[in-house]
């Protein structure tokens, strides 16, 4: 069974990886053979991903991620897959065309989302500098420097947290006492809980105390930053992809969002909303409940894939595990591989101008899923190669 990680962020959005080569080298070292790039709002990393995979004998999947809004769910107070914001809905597109092709008005809609997202982070950068000045920090952040040195065009709040951590350490010359005093002031008289050498932990605290809702530098997103769910699905289909719903499933306390708590109902609702593909970030979930959800959805005809994201500063393995580093079961490995096969077959066909797993309206004939699994398996593991060389 070939190992698959179908959802990986790179520095083209925000990532634990320094560059794409680091991600793909880790995949090779850990025996992961199928890898999916899955950046927020961006396909800019596709070329480097394709070339890097080709050089290493890996099979690339070309994906994208959005944050969208369902106004009806928002008005109903329904938490979908963002536990803190009713109506806000994360969506992925799987198996986009490569080379990427995106016509109007979809290209402009995507560019508009990137512009609004960057503008929000720039406004937060201004507020961070106001806090630094008010606390006589002795330094400030240069938004253009952040954009040039820390990003590949798309700027996230995590880039801002990283920039503040870097500049604080530089100014304090890595002195632990000076750093703790500085962050105490910046956090509104709250102690830094992380060890100063735990860079990921420090950046997460910067983000939580300053950049999230309730923090001194928080700036709410403009509604224009969130396209309607249907518009996002239209962009994904126009780019050749399969609209995919990312599950949160069970949290550490065994809780679920309003939308996801009833498995049979959410499967019906997703089908009615036109989704034929779902995914899980496996480290979020207990292995038993992950198998329950993934197996049921797979049996209902959904394409099911798994990933790790790697969209935080913390470095984790590329090989997938459930919560508490629990290995995935054989059933889960099989489901994930079959899902990757469908995505591989879809993107192969669409790149040639042919119909993929979903049609031009995003609809799928689930009875044909096995045919796509077969084609995808032949693409990922060509039968004419000697064993071990696929």
Task: Tell me the pLDDT tens digit for each residue of 250-303.
Answer: 988 889 999 999 999 999 999 999 999 999 999 999 999 999 999 999 999 999
350, part of any domain: yes
**For residues 106-120, average pLDDT:** 93
Tell whether 289 and 353 lie within a shared domain: yes
Q: Do residues 175 and 262 both lie within one domain?
A: no
How confident is the model at residue 385, as a pLDDT?
A: 44
Q: How confident is the model at residue 220, as a pLDDT?
A: 86
Confidence of residue 384 (pLDDT cuts 50, 70, 90): low
Domain of 370, CATH number, reads 3.20.20.140
Looking at the structure of the chain, the number of domains it has is 2
Task: Flag whether pLDDT at 390 surpasses 50.
Answer: no
The verdict on residue 190 lying in a domain is yes
Query: 376 and 271 in one domain?
Result: yes
In terms of domains, do 244 and 375 share one?
A: yes
Would you state the pLDDT for residue 387?
43
User: Could you tell me if residue 223 is inside a domain?
Assistant: no
Asked if pLDDT for residue 129 goes beyond 70, the answer is yes
Residue 216 lies in a domain: no
What is the tens place of the pLDDT at every residue in 131-183? 999 999 999 999 999 999 999 888 999 999 999 999 999 999 999 999 999 99
Q: What is the pLDDT of residue 222?
A: 80
Q: What is the pLDDT of residue 388?
A: 44
* Predicted confidence (pLDDT) per residue in 331-342, tens digit: 999 999 999 999
Q: For residue 355, give the nearest of 231, 237, 206 by alpha carbon.
A: 237
Answer with the one of 165, 196, 211 that is the final residue of a domain.
211
Pair 128, 95 in one domain: no
Q: Is residue 386 part of a domain?
A: no
Question: 82 and 159: one domain?
Answer: no
Among the three residues 166, 193, 211, which one is the final residue of a domain in this structure?
Answer: 211
pTM, two decimals, is: 0.91
Per-residue confidence band for 389, with pLDDT thresholds at 50, 70 and 90: very low
Q: Are residues 79 and 126 in the same domain?
A: no
Provide the pLDDT for residue 101. Answer: 87
Domain that holds residue 205: 110-211
| Residue 200 and residue 93 share a domain | no
* pLDDT tops 50 at residue 128: yes
Q: Quick one: pLDDT at residue 225?
A: 79
Per-residue pLDDT tens digits for 117-126: 899 999 999 9
Q: Is 144 contained in some domain?
A: yes
Taking only the tens place, the pLDDT of each residue in 22-67 is 999 999 999 999 999 999 999 999 999 999 999 999 999 999 999 9
Q: Which of 211, 230, 256 is the last residue of a domain?
A: 211
pLDDT tens-digit map of 65-76: 999 999 999 999
Pair 370, 249 in one domain? yes
pLDDT tens track for 188-235 = 999 999 999 999 999 999 999 999 989 999 998 887 778 999 999 999
Residue 34 resides in a domain = yes
């Amino acid at each position: 069974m070939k190992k698959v990680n179908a959802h990986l962020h790179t520095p083209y959005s925000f990532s634990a990886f320094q560059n794409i080569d680091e991600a793909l080298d880790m995949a090779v070292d850990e025996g992961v053979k199928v890898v999916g790039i899955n950046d927020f709002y961006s396909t800019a990393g596709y070329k480097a991903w394709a070339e890097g995979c080709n050089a290493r004998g890996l099979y690339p999947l070309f994906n994208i991620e959005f944050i969208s809004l369902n106004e009806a769910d928002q008005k109903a107070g329904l938490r979908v897959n963002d536990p803190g914001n009713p109506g806000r809905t994360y969506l992925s597109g799987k198996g986009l065309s490569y080379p990427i092709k995106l016509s109007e008005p979809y290209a402009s809609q995507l560019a508009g989302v990137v512009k609004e997202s960057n503008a929000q982070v720039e406004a937060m950068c201004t507020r961070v500098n106001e806090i630094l000045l008010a606390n006589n920090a002795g330094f400030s952040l240069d938004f253009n420097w952040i954009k040039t040195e820390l990003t590949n065009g798309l700027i996230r709040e995590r880039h801002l947290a990283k920039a503040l951590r870097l500049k604080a350490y530089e100014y304090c010359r890595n002195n632990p006492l000076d750093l703790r005093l500085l962050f105490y002031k910046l956090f509104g008289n709250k102690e830094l809980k992380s060890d100063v050498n735990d860079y990921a932990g420090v950046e997460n605290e910067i983000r939580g105390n300053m950049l999230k809702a309730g923090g001194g530098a928080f700036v709410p997103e403009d509604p224009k930053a969130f396209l309607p769910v249907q518009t996002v699905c239209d962009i994904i289909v126009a780019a050749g992809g399969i609209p995919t719903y990312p599950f949160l499933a069970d949290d550490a306390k065994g809780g679920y969002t309003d939308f996801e708590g009833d498995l049979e109902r959410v499967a019906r609702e997703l089908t009615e909303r036109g989704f034929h593909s779902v995914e899980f970030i496996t480290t979020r979930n207990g292995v038993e409940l992950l198998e329950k959800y993934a197996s049921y959805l797979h049996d209902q005809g959904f394409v099911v894939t798994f990933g790790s994201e790697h969209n935080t500063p913390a470095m984790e393995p590329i090989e997938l595990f459930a919560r508490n580093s629990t290995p995935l079961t054989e059933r889960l490995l099989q489901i994930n591989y079959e899902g990757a096969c469908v995505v591989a077959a879809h993107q192969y066909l669409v790149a040639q101008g042919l119909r993929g797993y979903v049609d031009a309206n995003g609809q799928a004939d689930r009875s044909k899923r096995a045919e796509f699994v077969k084609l995808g398996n032949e693409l990922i593991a060509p039968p004419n190669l000697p064993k071990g060389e696929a």
